[in-house]
Amino acid sequence: MPEPRTEHAEVLVVGGGNAGISLAARLRRDGWRDVVLVEPSPVHRYRPLLNYVGAGEASMRSLEKPMGRVVPDGVRWVRDAVASVDHVSKVVTTGRGRRLRYTTLVVCPGTQEDWDDTPGLQSAYTAGWATSTYVPSAVPLVWPALRALRSGTVLFTVPPEPAPCAATALKPLLMACDAWRRAGVLDDLDVVLALPEEHVTGVPKADARLERAFARYGVRVLRRARVARVDPVLRSVELTTPAGPVHLDDLAHAHVVPHYRAPRWVVDAGLATDEPGRLVSVDPGTMRSTVSDDVWSLGDVASLGTSSSGGGLRKQVNVLAKNLTAAAKGRRLHRYDGFTVMPVTTSHRRLVLVERDRSGPRPRHLPVLHRFRPRRLTWLFDRYGLPVLYWHRILRGKV
């Protein structure tokens, strides 16, 4: 058989999520002519709304659009998945055998569920008693399951890093607790939260607010705890903690977020770190690969030394777009300081926005909304304002 024809791209962007679409749009606005996007999915999702679907506050239809409608004008869309990357020859091969030679490669496919890291968890999802708002196929099952609970033990987990905006895993927990309180059944439920670290955000004022919310709802918090294994038949979960294993048996429900890792081809290409999750190894300031000067990365899959979030991603897109232009012209690169923002609900209609960078809390980006105090206004902004901004500004490279 003859070898497949090799196509060329000046900038090849792998991944059609928030990172890939908004960066591709920004590059087109900055004058880059030959931008190619590789993404197999026919659907684009505004993922932050998944947590609201899991709390009965949104529908799946409200957060999904056909991928063809969000791919920026002038960007070539290769509807296929990456099979391998050869960063020496500068060639990406897709699952259907297309060969794409690039001048510059941007890796942003997001991370994947690492089901093998938690034995039994995927089977518990299949059985229906374990769900989470992080797995799109399970999201429609979350709210019906939580709303129906009247007694028993229910477990919620915050995933360890790397994870897509891990702190937002608290949204379904605290909105559900508020719903159970209003329904008069909260006292009959044993609500357990497993945190991978001592606190949620690492921002003392924000964590103090969240601790008060846990106490108000009677949430039993297990700190520095991770899910080790799940028994899908007995409906039990084993967690590791500093004090030893903790077993939760006969669970009424478990909102267990799987652990995450980079796609296998990132590791096979020699682009990954040796740390958990095997993220793309980059300079966390410039987002340039430590392996190849022609490879860059951003979003969930990049080892940027900060908590992943959509708010942080907007800063990353801005810096990386400037850096691709600077690198092409031999100029000094800009730096990303690790800024991120974590929106966490504390009740049915209140939310706190937590901003930080690698040096600690940084409250100046959203001066009106950000006061470490849960507000109805921030909830409305997160639920209704940001989706409009996302579809009409962020994905078009305008923010």
Domain containing 79 equals 6-111+262-328
Shared-domain flag, residues 124 and 251: yes
pLDDT at 206 over 70: yes
The contacts of residue 133 (CB under 8 Å, 6+ apart) are 50, 51, 53, 54, 139, 142, 169, 171, 172, 255
Residues 100-128, mean pLDDT to the nearest whole number: 98
- pLDDT exceeds 50 at position 368: no
My answer on whether 205 and 119 are in the same domain is yes
Q: Which of 260, 283, 300 is the last residue of a domain?
A: 260
Which burial class, exposed, middle or buried, applies to 199 when counting CB atoms under 10 A from its CB (0-12, 13-18, 19+)?
Answer: middle
The answer to the question of residue 252 being in a domain is: yes
Q: CB–CB of 66/45 below 8 Å?
A: no
Is there a single domain that holds both residue 253 and residue 269?
A: no
Residue 128 lies in a domain: yes
Residue 176 and residue 287 in one domain:
no
Query: Which domain CATH number covers 281?
Result: 3.50.50.60
Residue 358 confidence class, pLDDT cut points 50, 70, 90: confident
Section 182-208 average pLDDT: 95
Same domain membership, residue 314 and residue 198: no
What local confidence, expressed as pLDDT, does residue 373 receive?
Answer: 80
Asked if residue 42 is part of any domain, the answer here is yes
Shared-domain flag, residues 35 and 99:
yes
Q: What is the pLDDT of residue 371?
A: 54
Whole-number mean pLDDT of the chain? 95
Q: Are both 240 and 291 inside the same structural domain?
A: no
Bridge partners (DSSP) listed for residue 230:
237
What does the alpha-carbon distance between residue 42 and residue 237 come to, in Å, rounded to a whole number?
Answer: 35
> Are residues 205 and 168 both part of a single domain?
yes
Please give the tally of structural domains in the chain: 2
Same domain, 256 and 118: yes
Domain assignment present for residue 291? The answer is yes
4 has pLDDT over 90: no
Mean of pLDDT values over 2-29: 92
Q: Given this model, what pLDDT does residue 2 score?
A: 52
pTM of the model: 0.94
Asked whether residue 366 is assigned to any structural domain, the reply reads: no
- Other C-beta atoms lying within 10 Å of the C-beta of residue 89: 10
One domain, residues 254 and 275: no
- Whether 159 maps to a domain, the answer reads yes
The pLDDT assigned to 72 comes to 97
Q: Which of 328, 350, 368 is the last residue of a domain?
A: 328
More confident position, 202 or 22: 22
What confidence score (pLDDT) does residue 8 get? 95
Answer yes or no: is 295 within a domain. yes
Please name the residues in contact with 330: beta carbons below 8 A apart, sequence gap of 6 or more.
none
* Mean pLDDT value of segment 265-270: 98
What's the Rg (C-alpha) of the chain? 21
Q: Is residue 81 part of a domain?
A: yes
pLDDT higher than 70, residue 364:
no
Mean pLDDT on 133-150:
97
pLDDT digits (tens, 9 = 90+) for 22-68: 999 999 999 999 999 999 999 999 999 999 999 999 999 999 999 99
Burial 322-346 (b: 16+ CB within 10 A, else e): ebbeebeeeeebbebebbbbbbbbb
On whether both 28 and 75 belong to a single domain, the answer is yes
**pLDDT band at residue 21 under the 50/70/90 scheme:** very high
Based on the fold, state whether residues 37 and 137 are members of the same structural domain. Answer: no
Taking each helix axis from N to C end, the angle separating 139-148 and 170-183, rounded to the nearest 10 degrees, works out to 30
Of the candidates 328, 363, 383, which is a domain's last residue? Answer: 328
